[in-house]
């Protein structure tokens, strides 16, 4: 790797440039029957960068990416960055009103689109748009030659991408992340997991979800093949299992619910994916009984729990070296090098002793710049780094995650739940994830989510939504909770469902459950 990957200046698209120089003929992207080499991806993204620059897009401008995940989309990401701009992935399945709101919020100056977007309408009539580029109209196909390598001189402090996440107010939050933010995480991951040009890495997460950062840029950093997981395979577990095998994947990265679905519906037997050496999961708690089963089936694979809100990239990690003995959730582990993970107690002090708990604050090079066009909300979550926060590599600000954690005796952090998942019922403060952990201990439970439904009499009623083996009853689930929890934490209702609703990033859609059972 060149100086761009060391301590000097660098940008995310330099990873592609270096891979193309060192391994021009290696496979960069696999998109169904199509493959691109690193030389081809580098050249294509240069042409796109030149088209954007010719359209008036400048350094720091925002460019919307309204495409299904595809070779075009990957080339588009690198092309936007080479043009010195910032890419804003738009969920092709989202309603047009939401897409327009996001595009208007960050004032996108250009839109990249194509025929393989989600089939819905496109926000391509926005005021101020300098260009709408259809990425299937590649000048290389018509013989038009454009300038060679494009370099606009952006560096670590320049904005690279904005990821919009759901806001508690109903208005999406634009999380702004720099080239340096992305590189700090990607460099660590490539080194820690030994990613190399022989690897074939899954690309399962949608591009508007932060798991995609490791997929797209980790593959480029390692000159590995990025294998795009087809949407159809994601929807059908048997097909997904077949795809993992036939695509020869060596690295998998997704939310735990996808792996749980494979375990539940794909008929997996011992060593189902012999080529898979590394399984990374993030985004939500992995039910421990399901994790244990997966590790039993795949004794040769390395399994790692990655933790981090979109605002921090991945900031802590925990390698699950052995199948868990108990049903307690596995830790979220320790901070990445150069990152400080500080636990602030309710009294405002820093937790230092095992067993102490509080809100997790993260500081260091992976932490976002702030929320786009929202200084008030930015000021609420980016606070001065607490005095005594050892381990942070620069950065005066710490991000308040809103996550509650406990210091373990071995120094690992244990996730307790969200501050906003702490609810009041009958005068008691209840942590919903604690109830979920009790339910997951029942052998028949595959997945569950406990939600609080507002009720005038008791403030909130607790509803447990459970996916369980056939024949399971609410009575049995209630007993499982009574065996582990105080009476006030026993759910008022147990709803047996075929599947939990998912958001566009495959996380459990708790809001939908509240609406359904209110």
* CATH 3.30.300.30 intervals, the chain: 426-517
- Specify the pLDDT at position 121: 60
In the chain, which residues have pLDDT < 70?
1-9, 115-121, 137-147, 167-170, 388-395, 421
SS3 383: strand
pLDDT digits (tens, 9 = 90+) for 282-321: 988 898 999 999 999 999 999 999 999 999 999 999 999 9
* CATH 3.40.50.12780 intervals, the chain: 3-219
Distance CA(308)–CA(181), nearest Å, equals: 13
pLDDT digits (tens, 9 = 90+) for 466-496: 999 999 999 999 999 988 887 888 999 999 9
Positive/negative CA dihedral, 78, 80, 281, 356: positive
- Specify the pLDDT at position 336: 96
- Out of 2.30.38.10, 3.40.640.10, 1.20.1050.10, 2.60.120.430, select the CATH number for domain 338-419: 2.30.38.10
Does domain 3-219 fall under CATH 3.40.50.12780? My reply is: yes
* CATH 2.30.38.10 intervals, the chain: 338-419
Considering only CA atoms, which of 185, 176, 243 is closest in space to residue 215?
185
Those residues whose C-beta lies under 8 Å from the C-beta of residue 260, and which sit 6 or more positions away, are: 286, 287, 290, 446, 447
- Out of 2.40.110.20, 3.40.50.720, 3.30.1540.20, 3.30.300.30, select the CATH number for domain 426-517: 3.30.300.30
The DSSP call for residue 414 is E
Distance CA(46)–CA(197), nearest Å, equals: 22
Report residue 275 CA to chain centroid gap: 24
- Specify the pLDDT at position 427: 72
């Amino acid at each position: 790797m060149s100086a761009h990957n060391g301590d000097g200046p660098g940008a995310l698209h330099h990873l592609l440039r270096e891979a193309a120089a060192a391994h021009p003929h290696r496979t960069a992207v696999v998109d169904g029957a199509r493959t691109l080499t690193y030389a081809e991806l580098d050249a294509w993204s240069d042409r796109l960068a030149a088209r954007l620059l010719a359209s008036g897009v400048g350094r720091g401008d925002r460019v919307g990416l309204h495409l299904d995940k595809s070779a075009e989309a990957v080339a588009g990401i690198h092309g936007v960055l080479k043009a010195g701009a910032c890419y804003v992935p738009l969920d092709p399945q989202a309603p047009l009103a939401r897409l327009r709101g996001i595009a208007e919020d960050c004032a996108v100056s250009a839109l990249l689109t194509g025929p393989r977007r989600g089939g819905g309408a496109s926000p391509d009539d926005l005021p101020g748009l300098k260009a709408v580029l259809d990425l299937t109209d590649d000048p290389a196909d018509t013989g038009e030659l454009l300038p060679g390598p494009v370099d606009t001189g952006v560096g670590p402090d320049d904005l690279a991408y904005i990821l919009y996440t759901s806001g508690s107010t109903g208005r999406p939050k634009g999380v702004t992340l720099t080239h340096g933010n992305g590189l700090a995480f990607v460099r660590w991951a490539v080194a820690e997991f030994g990613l190399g040009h022989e690897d074939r890495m899954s690309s399962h997460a949608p591009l508007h979800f932060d798991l995609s950062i490791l997929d797209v840029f980790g593959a480029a950093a390692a000159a590995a093949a990025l294998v795009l997981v087809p949407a159809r395979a994601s929807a059908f577990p048997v097909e997904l299992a077949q795809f993992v095998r036939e695509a020869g994947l060596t690295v998998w990265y997704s939310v735990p619910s996808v792996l749980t679905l494979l375990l539940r519906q794909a008929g997996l037997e011992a060593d189902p994916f012999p080529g898979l050496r590394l399984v990374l999961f993030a985004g939500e708690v992995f039910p421990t009984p399901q994790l244990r089963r997966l590790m039993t089936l795949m004794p040769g694979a390395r399994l790692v729990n990655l933790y981090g809100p979109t605002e921090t990239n991945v900031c802590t990690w925990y390698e699950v070296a052995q199948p868990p003995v108990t049903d307690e959730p596995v830790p979220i582990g320790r901070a990445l090098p150069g990152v400080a993970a500080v636990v602030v107690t309710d009294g405002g002090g820093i937790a230092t002793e095992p067993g102490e708990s509080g809100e997790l604050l993260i500081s260091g090079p992976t932490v976002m710049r702030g929320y786009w066009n929202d200084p008030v909300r930015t000021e609420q979550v980016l606070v001065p780094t607490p005095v005594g926060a050892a381990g942070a590599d620069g950065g005066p600000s710490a991000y308040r995650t809103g996550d509650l954690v406990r210091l373990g005796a071995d120094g690992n952090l244990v996730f307790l739940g969200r501050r906003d998942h702490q609810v009041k019922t009958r005068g008691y403060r209840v942590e919903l994830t604690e109830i979920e952990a009790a339910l997951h201990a029942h052998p028949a439970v595959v997945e569950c989510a406990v939600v609080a439904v507002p009720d005038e009499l008791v403030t909130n009623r607790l509803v447990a939504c459970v996916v369980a083996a056939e024949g399971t009853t609410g009575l049995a689930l209630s007993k499982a909770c009574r065996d582990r929890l105080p009476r006030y934490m026993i759910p008022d209702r147990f709803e047996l469902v075929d599947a939990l609703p998912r958001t566009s990033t495959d996380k459990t859609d708790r809001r939908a459950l509240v609406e359904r059972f209110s």
